[in-house]
Structure 1
Amino acid sequence: MKCQACGSAHTVKNGSNAVGTPKFMCRSCGRQFVEHPKKGPIPQETKELIDKLLLERISLAGIARVTGVSERWLQDYVNDKYPHVPREVAVKKVQKGRLTIECDELWSFVGKKGNKHWVWLAIETDSKAIVGLYIGDRSRESAEGLWNSLPAVYRQCAVSYTDFWEAYEAIFPAKRHFPVGKETGKTSHIERFNCTLRQRVSRLVRKALSFSKKLENHIGAIWYFVHYYNAVIQVEAAL
């Protein structure tokens, strides 16, 4: 019996699995295996398909049904994937000058509706790219988190339009901050993106069973979509 991982013949019997199939262990690499496994490693093509499906409004159970992987394997896959998603915006460099951003907060929850987590977002009006993101409560500290997430050039030059939530006034520079109502249209782009985010990230859909149960995955899924969205925006701008 040769090890399926390293090819070593230095293997020994090592009990049986839950359905009684004999198991073996490789003395060289320590891997445990059965002689004729019913399922092999997940192909790279399947993983790439899963990465695309995670950007759509599909639950993990739905993705497992579509791709044929087990829900347990898929949960482990996203548990490993989301913590490694970068937590800062990736946008092209812009020159100092007149820049305009729109900011808003999006309600969400983790585990139960009483456990609220607000998604603070900033979008550049001209390029439509997300230039700031912070996930926290609805306090002044979270508004500061959004401000700190902005690239330096936006903190130095950008004019910002927000709603009348008082946390913005405490953090954003008064001379470049303008609280406005929805009827002005000055925050229409960020409000439209909020709708896009809810439509594409299933765990943000109101009144659905696809809510997050783990904060790390909640944050990772949102960042994962934002990075994808910004990449698409930059490609479209180059055409």
Structure 2
Amino acid sequence: MDTSELTCPKCNSSKIVKNGRIHNGKQNYKCKHCDRQFVANCEKKYISSETKALIDKLLLERVSLAGIARVADVSETWLQQYVNQKYVQVPQQVQVQDKKRGGLTLQLDEMWSFVEKKQAKVWIWLAIDVDTREIVGMHIGSRDEDGAKGLWQSLPPVYRQCAVCYTDFWRAYAQVIPSKRHQPVGKGSGLTNRIERFNCTLRQRASRLVRKTLSFSKKLANHIGALWLFIHYYNSSLLV
């Protein structure tokens, strides 16, 4: 279509230029006056519940949003809006089985990630129940006492009151966990192997955590939401 026949749907300017193509091959246009991008004669596409269910499953796999858009045949703009809304609604606290007091053992660890750029480090603090393999605590923040405190406060009360906690020798743990129930150990001891194995699982399943990736998080809120979404899925899968 000749750009002289087009006007911007936002500001009605006729200063329109071609601007590549969208995911389905249609010509994309851009207004030079207000920078609005649009497709000529665009018809609003209905996204079925089946497609949304497929997207929900793909969000739990090592697939980028661009890849999900191609598989589900939806626009990246719509998909980004959909996941933004989904992540906002994800509960940011653990949902685990009730536990009896006594005999509880946890393994704690922290793993590195980043948002927007590698210089913007964001640490993921995790706690796993050795017996049930549930993730019973998570905090996303800095790698210092505040981060360790966030993880400790994320644990259900029964764990804070009764559990023995195995960690590495990172000093922030000793600053927060009561000494009677804190057991720092070396990696060779095997006493933190469950949480280290889960860290590997998380990196393999969440594309934004793969070490060399173009799928990294651009927004901290989405980074947190995506991780909580996977944690809830992981814990629920243990009940099946």
Specify the TM-score bucket, using the shorter chain as the normaliser.
0.7 to 0.9
Residue number in structure 2 paired with 1:28: none
Deviation at 1:80, TM superposition (A): 0.9
Q: How do 1:20-31 residues align onto structure 2 when only pairs under 5 Å count?
A: none
Within 5 Å, which residues of 2 pair with 1:51-200? 51-200=56-205
Query: Which residue pairs with 2:4 in the alignment?
Result: none
1:166-223 Cα deviation digits (max 9, x unpaired) = 0000000101100001100000000000000000010011011000000000000000
Which ranges in structure 2 are unaligned for 5 or more consecutive residues? 1-6, 15-40
Task: State the alpha-carbon separation in 1 of the partners of residues 102 and 185 from structure 2.
Answer: 22
- Give distance in 1, aligned partners of 2:143 and 2:191: 21
**Scaled by the length of structure 2, what TM-score is found?**
0.83
Matched, 1:45 2:50: yes
Find the counterpart in structure 2 of residue 216 from structure 1.
221
The reply to whether residue 206 of structure 1 matches residue 211 of structure 2 is yes
Per the TM alignment, residue 38 of structure 1 is displaced from its structure 2 partner at its CA by 3.6
RMSD: 1.7
State, as a whole percentage, how many aligned pairs show the same letter. Answer: 62
Once residues 39 and 147 of structure 1 are traced to their aligned partners in structure 2, the CA distance between those partners, rounded to angstroms, is: 47
Task: State the one-letter code of the partner of 2:58.
Answer: L
Alignment length (residue pairs):
206
SS in 2 for 1:126: coil
CA distance in 1, matches of 2:212, 2:46: 36
Deviation at 1:40, TM superposition (A): 2.6
Whole-angstrom distance in 2 between the partners of 1:204 and 1:48:
23
Q: State the 1:122 CA deviation.
A: 0.1
CA distance in 2, matches of 1:169, 1:205: 29
User: 2:200 & 2:234 partners in 1: Cα distance?
Assistant: 13
Q: Give the Å deviation of 1:101.
A: 0.2
For residues 222 and 37 of structure 1, the distance between their equivalents in structure 2, rounded to whole angstroms, comes to 35
Q: Which amino acid aligns with 2:96?
A: V
In 1, distance between residues paired with 2:119 and 2:43? 43
How far 1:147 moved relative to its partner?
A: 0.3
* Mapped partners of 2:64, 2:42: distance in 1: 28
> For the residues of structure 2 that align with 1:169 and 1:17, how far apart are their CA atoms?
59
Which SS does the other structure have where 2:109 is aligned? Answer: strand
Aligned-partner residue type, residue 119 of structure 1: I
- C-alpha displacement at 1:16, in angstroms? 8.1
| Runs (5+) with no aligned partner, structure 1 | 1-14, 21-35
Q: Does residue 233 of structure 2 align to residue 228 of structure 1?
A: yes
Work out the CA distance in 2 between the residues paired with 1:118 and 1:37.
Answer: 42
Residue type at the aligned position of 1:146: L
Following the alignment from structure 1 to structure 2, what is the Cα–Cα distance between the partners of residues 16 and 131?
51
